[in-house]
Amino acid sequence: MSLQGDVETRCPSCGREFEAPVWSFVHGGRDEALRERVKARECNLLLCPACEAAFTPEVPWVYYEPEAEILAFVFPESFRAEEARWRGKMREDFAQMRGLLGDRLPVDLEPEVYFGSEGLAELLEAEDWRRDERDVMEHYARELGLSLYRASPRWARAHAAPSELPYRGGGRATRAALLEGLKALVAANDRLAAWSDYLAALEKDAAAGPPPPAAAAFR
């Protein structure tokens, strides 16, 4: 559930002070319209009632999208000058959040920190591009009778790899099963570059096994 509250703010153009609702916690996995506003750089965008200037108030907020394993603290761009201080504040707030959510957060989860919303918006745009490509892959996997292994999205982003991997058989996603599934997929559609590249990397590294699975708490 996303959370919104009223704050006192001042228009940077005309100096008018007024009260306005802003989001403090955005659950992008449950509110697609609000997620789109984040992606469009419009989350917490206000219009001054006096001069109608558009601006974003100087308040931090949190973005959460469990399916993509994203937890981000978004601070105003002006806070960057005291980055160490605000990263410390993030760690304190995250410790409180973990106390409330408990095992619903993976033990190794480290929140991402952004100053301004641009970086988070770019991340969501990239996730949507991955999602569209994944939908095509899943279509081919079904046609080929392949199973799907869900790797950790955080791992996939860090390694520029797909988070959904086809494999042969209905049992465990072993290295051999992944290689068979990936070869079948690439033979059927060699334009799925992310899976083709991952296949090449897996073949090159004889010691590589399946990537870590998506965190159980995020499934």
Please give the Cα distance from 163 to 173 (Å, whole number): 13
pTM, full prediction: 0.86
Whether 218 shows a pLDDT value over 50: the answer reads no
**Residue-wise pLDDT tens digits, 77-136:** 999 999 999 999 888 888 887 777 666 666 667 789 999 999 999 999 999 999 999 999
CB 156, CB 211: distance < 8 Å: yes
- Cβ partners under 8 Å of residue 120, min gap 6: 38, 63, 72, 74, 112, 114
**Residue-wise pLDDT tens digits, 198-210:** 999 999 999 999 9
